[in-house]
Structure 1
Amino acid sequence: MSQDRFQTSREVYHRIRWDPRFDAREFVIGYDAHGETMEEMPFGAFAPDGEIPWHRVWYFKRGHEMVWDRRERIDRLSSLTFKTSEEVVSPPPPPPAPTSEAAPRFTPLPLYRYNARANAWIEVEESVSTEVQPAPADLTFATFNVLFDLYDPELLATHRRTAATISLLRSADADVIALQEVTAPFLRALLEKQWVREHYFVSDGPDASTVEPYGQVLLSRYPFASLSQCVFSRDKRIIAGELALPGGSLWVATPHLTSNRDPVRAKARTVQVQALLEWTRSLGDSPDIALVGDFNFGDDAPEVQDFQKAGFVDAWTALRPGDVGYTFDPSRNTLAALMTTSGRRQRLDRVLVRSASGRLVPHEVGLFAEAPLSGPPGPGGDALFASDHFGLSCVLKRGDAPVQAPAPALPRATPRPLTVPLVRQSCLVIVPPEEVWAPIQALRAVHDSKFERWMPHVTLLFPFVPEDSFGEAEALIMEALQGIEPFEVMLSGFGYFEHSSDVTAWLRPDARPHGALEALHAALEKVFPRGEARGREPEFDFTPHLTVGQLPRAPAATIRRTLATWERDWRPIRFEVGDVCLTSKRGDGPFEIRRRVPLGGRPRSGASRSTPPGPSKTGRSSAEEKDVLRTVLSARGEWPSSETRQARQAVVGRLEALCARAGAELLPYGSYLLGTDNAGSDVDAVAVGPASLSLEDFAQALTRLVSDQEGPAAARFVADAALPLVKLSLDGVHFDVSYARRPEGVEPCPPTELLARYGERLDTPGFRSLNGWTDTRELLDSVDHEGAGAERFRTVLRAVRSWAKARGVYSHALGYLGGLSWSVLVAWACTNAPREATRSDSGLLAYFFETFSAWQWPRPVTLTAGTAGYRTSDRRDLMPVVAPALPPRNTARNVSRSTLQVLRDELSRAREVVRRARAEGTEAAWAVLFEPVDLEKELPVRLRVSVEAPSPEAREMASGWVLGHLTALVYRLEADRRLFARPFPNAAPEGPFFIGLSSRDPGGHEALSSRPGSALARTMDEFRASFQEWSHRPPGAVLYLELAPR
């Protein structure tokens, strides 16, 4: 038996947290909650030296495996880390020094790791690199040129790009990250991030000695046994290191070769390439090598052959032959367009692998950071990207036994081309499934003059062969598509083409994997050539697009502003491309589908991601778990029908028109913009108007316009609310419309620009109103670019919202959490959950409740880089859930001592219910989660608050005052520390309102007494007095407070 000392809980915690070989997200902590049973919390939710002391931590588990147990004296942590019977493979010797004094030399570099005790980045001791590491089955590499700001800082919006880039790198979740063009400020911002401090070794520290004026940085989850650099000039170098792993070393180097901007690029690049290849030769043939970085040459450069001759395989061409994979694309990236001198699209960033043993094999490769950043445009007025390059991510499989590396794909025999004359009465297209047409057709019906002639489509080839040749064409297409698998397309943004007389507006189809549409088009064009022999230009630049309309010619800024308005309300649509369609028109009729040819020779599945799937008919699986949960949610009305959604969109469109008549632009936000609204949801919106239109004038005009509408319509202006607004109902849809007035002299502009440039000149209600819209946009951007994705976010948010309403904790006004707060919490779970939890709706929902039932409040929950520094300030910060947009704001400031306890209790109940429901997998088990709270059971003593007034309007107004001041009443009640108050949702808008009162103090019965002079009686009298002093109190309105024992 081992005589080693038994580790303390503190030592185990810090070992799991700081040892890069462990993924802390896999662990849970068991602790004594002063109850009959132990409680558990996710590892990341535990606050060291916080509310739970170390002596109450009883065990650590990874999954279902007990790793450390105080009571049973179990400590298996070391067995998770080290192998006991393997010999440590000696690493190969370091590379010999070059023989020529003039040749570039590799010189040692220190390695840095964050030390929590010292609260600083420190150089790693040499002994760290000698530890045996567990053998990873695969390694993910990411490389990104982050674009320095030395030459054109005013055009690059570096502060925004830095925050976005660091967020993208976190999402890449790579084991090794290679960065180029890193500056000292960027490096220091990166080193401040907790995820970097917790998980990575870094090739440079806060002194930034290798990035002046800019340079490369390597980050690795595994420590380097050695690290060195080869310096060519003040800003050109190679950073290289050795990862000592079981079975042999892995050497990694990140180059940034001289770019085309350098006038002496040919000579300088030759020296750099020779030095890099000489370094790889010096290592011998046995070690595995990965070269990851910005090589600054395209596929037609002679250097490509140099690396091939040296035995390197390009991961991109090995895995995705025929896919261009441009990482520098001026046609798609405005920063690349700004930086380019040639306008050429090129694949500059690469992952090159050499593995003589066949142990290291490219498995997956793709691009990231392809989409423009959310928010206002860049300083030049165009969309802003994180960098002028796209990022490159690659997974390398690593096995103990040699495996066959992927050989370069052999070219397929090209199908013989069909040379019949092309006609404009036929076209080869992709047609989205009909279930996703509705929002596309809504746009086309208004803007597309060819709405009646065409179905929604992405053109592949036009003109095309005549219909009488479709039989022969179908056979050739089927042969050409044998090697092309179905892929996903997302319609997420807008673009346009300019013509002599008008402008064509279109939706951008983004394919996953990247380049799939271009590869499909290239395969088809070989069969149906487009060149000069067919009356076209030989260079045909294919731009995938789905036309939605035509616009009159106008300045580019005006067109972009119009498309930005469309995009603001657009919800991305995903669908699978499973076939291509041969279409034709006969006479004056519309184009119709005549034949479909499946991709990859397989029948089309018909699956679409735009709507929730029905229950699975297969055995139990994560997909079935998801379907059971969605079935229960659908039964609760959480998924409105497409007809209901279209009807609500039409009503919103009507209100937009009324606001325009009143002189303002309507911007819906909240659940409507998130895409999680249902048939009964209110629509939150802000109207933005000119300086000449006051709040009162806008409210009066809108109220009058709504009242004049046919059908059910009503509106009233609530002037004395904390945020003045117009409450209205139009065709059964309820709206809360606030107002923001542009400052004097400010022209119409997007709301993000209005806040960024003129926020200080806005009045407080206008500023707050616009923040509601920007919060929603920031939240959407977070879930679109990180973690589980927007679709899963929406499903889990629907589930959380339905649960919170059923349990009476969905209300900011009552002191719980409102819609924005719950959305932030769900978004946090989506972007921070481990991969296993994001594979199903139920898994992510379980992670949500596991995390927040054990969250160490008042530790803030923040979603964006700009709000990560939020600090609690006063007693209203009991449960800080911070809004995603700046300035940082706690969206849960109404939470009190009592309502915080209610939330904790309900989250703990939900955690247990979800555990059981996932185990049983039945609709009945899931339905328990949404059981309404029992008023009679939960409220033993109730304070009943009600109003009476001479008219329905006056009663509605008085009830609004009560609802707005109910949290103040709760705070007054809680001044007696013996009292516990639970506000309960009112059944009707006009009340009555109930607050459950109880005491957890042995002598608490006195606190529940309302006899004259008691603390409770005084609080009730003070609240009545506040109502009487209300300056806008309707004449004849009376407030009643009654204590009603059960």
Structure 2
Amino acid sequence: NPGFTFDPSRNICAQITSQSQISRRLDRYLIHTLYNLSYSIEHLSMIATDIIPIDPFNNDDNQRINLSDHYALQLIINFRTRSRSHRSALVILPTIDKWSLIDSYCEHYDPPNNLWNLWPSHINLLWPFYDRNDCQDDQEDILLKLRLLLCQYSSFSIKINEIDSFVENNVIFMKCDEQSTNHLRQLHEQLAQSFSHCIRNSRNTYNPHMTLVQFDSQEKFNQVKPSLILNESFEFPVQYLYILQRPHDNDTTPFHIVHQIPLGSILQPIHYKQSNSVHIKLQEFFQTMNLYETNESYKRKQDKFQKLSSCFQQIFNKDTLHYFIHSFLPYGSFRIGINGQDVDTVFLLNEIKSMNNETTFDETLHQLKHDPNALNKYIYNLLETQINENFKDEIIYCMKIEALFPIMSILFNDQTKVEIFVQIELSECKTANDSHLPESIHGVHDIERLLVHIRLPPIFQHLLTYIRTWAQHVGLYGQAYGYLGGYAWAVLCAHICHKHLSSIKSLLAIEEFSIDGFFSLVEYFFSTFAQFNWLADPLCLYPKSYKPITYSERPTVYHRGSMRIISPSPPFHNAARSTKRSTRDLIIQGFQRVVQLLDSINTITTEDKLNALKQILELNNDFPNEKTESIVQLTISSENTDEFDSWIGWIKSRLSFFFSECEEACHYTFQPQSTIEYQSNKNKALYAIAFQVDSTTLQQSRKFTDCLQKFINQVNSFLNRTKSMKFSHKIISIDDWKLERMKRKSQRIKQ
């Protein structure tokens, strides 16, 4: 996005011609996408922004004017032909535990050095498939499109119950049972609609099968045909589809896995003794370090999500609505399948075209659609009422919280917390039969673009779990506190996985991803980001063929935040926009601290690497660090739990403004605490910010006093504040703060 091309605030001609004086992006390139053509944008910027003299012959006249009331756009774009190729396929692979069984039949039928040994055992879904160039267009039009389609399908099982043959081409194959065949045909039909140019002959019926051997003569085929017997049927789960590929210049190289695409909107959670995951020794390490979420915890979250889905379906359905469709979708940690504190969700209401009569509910929504705030409030109230009616005996509270953005927060009796963001999309010219999901769903498409970038989800899940745990332990986690939030850490891990993990030969390479491989990935993570030029460069998930724009050409979104970790999802927000110079430096020091640790210990043997991975997680949180001299301590309290969470959420949302003021107005360096410290009575909490100046200087600084007062005024402006919501602050020395903590700790021990 190069900015406004019609901009009365900067363009004199636009000021003259505009009645509203509203800046707009009126000029744009429209590119018609073709199935056999991919493209990448190399450069897009505004030109003709200069001003010229009104009277060029009068040197004394300084009046100048723009060339036009519109700025021009300059585009440099690279086009590539995208072709279907027999060297690329979209397939299902049987799980590793079935390989020996399948291989026994292959060895029985398959003569040595048969070309089919170049393929792993598989079931084709689309072959030939698109050649992938690892360009921007591939990710958007192939991988993301495929992943969003597969979100609609849950994992399923395939049962093989027979060995059969295709007489016309001398092929012997394993045949699926009727239920599996029907399931695969439904999936193939959807894939064929989305990738129609990969279908060679639409008149042929799709017959899913797993080829064992193709003979080069009918005579050999006839010799083997009488022995086509499957001794025992078997099943295997399908949790992923795979894109297989082989080089163009080598017919002897076997097909290898270039992408592992998960099924279902929620990834399978990583856990101990998980099949088709990383090496068992690495799983044992994660289990020992308590990095896996317990099965009970995950089931509680899954149960709440399913119950809420059913709850919303009661009022938002085809009987009550004809002109609107709703979706209830997970995002964040729960969607990725790793342990997170909350279940983050989005409730999406989308307007569609319909030939049916309006329902009463439709009429109400149509009346409110012209006032977005009123419509949003109405939906929030409706959801809150529905939740309270359905879960009145199961929840502690359900309320709207004004945090970084408004959310509905639900705390269940078992302490499971679900947060709901409401997104309303109006005036969509789509029918109920069309895909009703908009181009960007809050949190959802951000996650999906990561998943198509990482190639191998199980390894990414393990790396992200490890890195997040380290960041939390050392106090560098939390967007509200000026550090990196969960999504920013996920982008960093996705970047490392894409750069460090190349294509793999087979599924076995994932199961053999051991302590050594994981250590290399972790080491690469910290060395990469310890050396990265965070002061000048953004971190972007560009495909190889995408040329990053130069610093001067970057849109303003790149300049928000002291670190720039750009989301791969339009409009390409900075996922690290909450970082300040102080917190950026602390994060960089955190990376460097790990690099220094690894340089100081042996990392030669597997045991050495295992020990190093443990030591990284055992690094302490150095808040407050040795450079700080004073503390601003906030005390927050309320009489009941639901008010308390809302009160804390509001105060956390104000911290970023205070941090910015401290840096920009006072030029102070500070270290924010990365957690709210709840006290024993649960209705009181403390939060501290450490500064690199002494307490007397802070108290006597007029600029700092003004900044602090602005922060207090913002806190006090909370519209839903009750009399029981208390807030106070004090400025003390580091020594006094530590002494108070010791006293509180000793009191807790006595109790």
Among 859, 863, 866, the residue aligned to 2:541: 863
CA contact (8 A) 1:820 1:891 kept: yes
The answer to whether the Cα contact below 8 Å between 2:542 and 2:548 also exists between their aligned partners in 1 is yes
Q: Is the Cα contact below 8 Å between 1:867 and 1:886 reproduced in 2?
A: no
Q: Which residue is 2:474 aligned to?
A: 807
Aligned to 1:1020: 708
SS of corresponding position for 1:798: helix
Greater alpha carbon shift after TM alignment, 873-882 vs 522-531: 522-531
Give 1:1008 deviation, angstroms.
3.6
- Tell whether 2:445 aligns with 1:774: yes
Q: Residue 142 of structure 2 aligns to a residue in which SS? A: coil
Is 1:656 matched up with 2:309?
yes
Distance 1:816 1:648 in 2: 26
- Residue deviations 1:404-450 (CA, integer Å, cap 9, x gap): xxxxxxxxxxxxxxxxxxxxxxxxxxxxxxxxxxx99x966xxxxxx
- After superposition, the Cα gap between the structure-2 partners of 1:321 and 1:293, relative to the gap in structure 1 and judged at 3 Å, is closer
Once the two structures are TM-superposed, the CA of residue 699 in structure 1 deviates from its matched residue by 2.4
Q: Is the 8 A contact 2:635 2:729 kept in 1?
A: yes
Structure 1 distance, partners of 2:328, 2:114, is 45
Instruction: Give the match for residue 651 of structure 2.
Output: 962
1:162 has 2:45 as partner: no
The answer for the alignment partner of 2:520 in structure 1 is 843
Question: Quick check: 986-995 or 961-970, which moved more?
Answer: 986-995
Give 1:684's aligned residue.
344
User: Which of 265, 272, 276 is matched with 1:569 structurally?
Assistant: 265
Equivalent runs, 1:290-689 vs 2, <5 Å: 321-322=115-116, 332=126, 373-376=142-145, 456-459=157-160, 461=162, 495-497=184-186, 518-520=210-212, 529=225, 567-569=263-265, 571=267, 609-615=275-281, 627=282, 630-642=283-295, 644-663=297-316, 664-675=326-337, 677-678=338-339, 681-689=341-349
Show the counterpart of 2:63: none
Letter in 1 for 2:539: V
Asked if 1:908 corresponds to 2:589, the answer is no
> Secondary structure of the residue that 1:374 maps to in structure 2?
helix
Deviations 1:877-900 (A, max 9, x none): 421001111111101111111101
The alpha-carbon deviation at position 986 of structure 1 amounts to 1.4
Who is 1:733 aligned against?
416
**What is the percent sequence identity of the aligned residues?**
16
Aligned to 1:942: 631
CA distance in 2, matches of 1:572, 1:372: 25
Q: C-alpha root-mean-square deviation of aligned residues, in Å?
A: 5.2
Indicate the SS of the match to 2:314: helix
Residue number among 723, 732, 736 corresponding to 2:405 in the alignment? 723
Corresponding residue for 2:616?
929
Q: Given residue 276 of structure 2, which amino acid in structure 1 is its aligned partner?
A: S
1:750–1:975: structure 2 CA closer, same or farther, 3 Å change rule? farther
Q: 1:844 to 1:752 in 2, by over 3 A?
A: farther
Aligned position for 1:894: 578
Give deviations 1:568-627, integer Å, cap 9, x for gaps.
4253799xxxxxxxxxxxxxxxxxxxxxxxxxxxxxxxx974345443xxxxxxxxxxx3
Contact 2:530 2:592 in 1 (8 A): yes
Q: Hey, what's the Cα distance between the residues in 1 that align with 2:39 and 2:697?
A: 56
Q: How many residues end up aligned between the 2 structures? A: 522
- The 8 Å contact of residues 797 and 823 in structure 1, kept in 2 or not, is answered as yes
With over 3 angstroms needed to count, the CA separation of the structure-2 counterparts of 1:744 and 1:189, relative to structure 1, is closer
SS of the aligned residue for 1:727 comes to: strand
Structure 2 counterpart of 1:687, one-letter code: F
Deviation track 1:1008-1034 (CA, whole Å, cap 9, x = no partner) reads: 4313x6333332222222223344433
Residue in 2 that maps onto 1:998: 691
Which residue is 1:764 aligned to?
none
Larger radius of gyration: 1
Write the letter of the residue equivalent to 2:336. Answer: L
* Secondary structure at the counterpart of residue 443 of structure 2: helix
Q: 1:922 to 1:293 in 2, by over 3 A?
A: closer
Distance 1:811 1:992, change over 3 A: same
Question: What corresponds to 1:918 in structure 2?
Answer: 603
- Any idea what SS the aligned residue of 1:832 has? helix
1:1010–1:382: structure 2 CA closer, same or farther, 3 Å change rule?
Answer: closer
- Amino acid paired to 1:798: T
The answer (yes or no) to whether the contact 1:807–1:933 under 8 Å persists in 2 is yes
Query: Does residue 1029 in structure 1 map to residue 717 in structure 2?
Result: yes
- Inter-CA distance 689–325: structure 2 relative to 1 (3 Å threshold): same
Find out whether 1:852 has 2:529 as its counterpart. yes
CA distance in 2, matches of 1:688, 1:751: 16
Distance 1:1006 1:608 in 2: 53
Cα distance in 2 between the residues matched to 1:612 and 1:923 = 15
For 2:161 and 2:141, locate their aligned partners in 1 and report how far apart those are by CA, in whole Å.
25
Q: What's 1:755 paired with?
A: 438
CA separation of 1:319 and 1:723: change in aligned 2, threshold 3 A: farther
Aligned counterpart for 1:189 among listed residues 50, 62, 78: 78
SS at match of 1:755: coil
Deviation track 1:22-54 (CA, whole Å, cap 9, x = no partner) reads: xxxxxxxxxxxxxxxxxxxxxxxxxxxxxxxxx
Show the counterpart of 2:54. none
Distance in 1, Cα, partners of 2:404 & 2:580: 19
- Cα contact 2:277–2:458 (8 A) shared by 1: no
CA contact (8 A) 1:849 1:911 kept: yes
Letter aligned with residue 422 of structure 2? Y
Q: Matched residue of 1:737: which SS?
A: strand
What is the distance in 1 between the residues matched to 2:222 and 2:707? 83
| Equivalent position of 1:713 in the other structure | 395
Distance 1:715 1:611, change over 3 A: farther
* TM-score, structure 2 as length reference: 0.58
SS at match of 1:968: helix
* Partner Cα distance (1:844, 1:740) in 2: 37
Q: How far apart are 1:928 and its partner, in Å?
A: 2.7
Closer/same/farther in 2, CA of residues 750 and 1034 from structure 1, 3 Å limit = farther
**What residue identity is the alignment partner of 1:734?**
K
Secondary structure of the corresponding residue to residue 638 of structure 1? coil
Give secondary structure in 2 for the equivalent of 1:1041: strand
Q: CA deviation at 1:966?
A: 0.8
Q: CA–CA distance in 1 between the matches of 2:660 and 2:345?
A: 30
**Counterpart secondary structure, 1:718:** strand
User: SS where residue 813 of structure 1 aligns?
Assistant: helix
For 1:202-235, what per-residue CA distance to the aligned partner results, in whole angstroms no more than 9, with x for missing partners? Answer: xxxxxxxxx9xx899xxxxxxxxxxxxxxxxxxx
Structure with greater helix percent: 2
Q: SS of the residue aligned with 1:862?
A: coil
Cα separation, 1, equivalents of 2:183 and 2:442: 24
**Shift in Å, 1:713:** 1.9
State the AA in 2 paired with 1:571: L
Gapped regions of structure 1 (runs ≥ 5):
1-152, 165-185, 191-210, 217-255, 260-291, 295-316, 337-348, 350-368, 384-438, 445-455, 465-479, 485-490, 500-515, 535-543, 549-565, 575-606, 616-626, 757-766
Counterpart of 2:385 (choices 704, 707, 715) is 704
1:644 offset after TM fit, Å?
4.3
Cα distance in 2 for partners of 1:187, 1:1014 equals 52
SS in 2 for 1:569: coil
How much has 1:810 moved relative to structure 2? 1.0
Q: How does 1:249-268 map to 2 (within 5 A)?
A: none
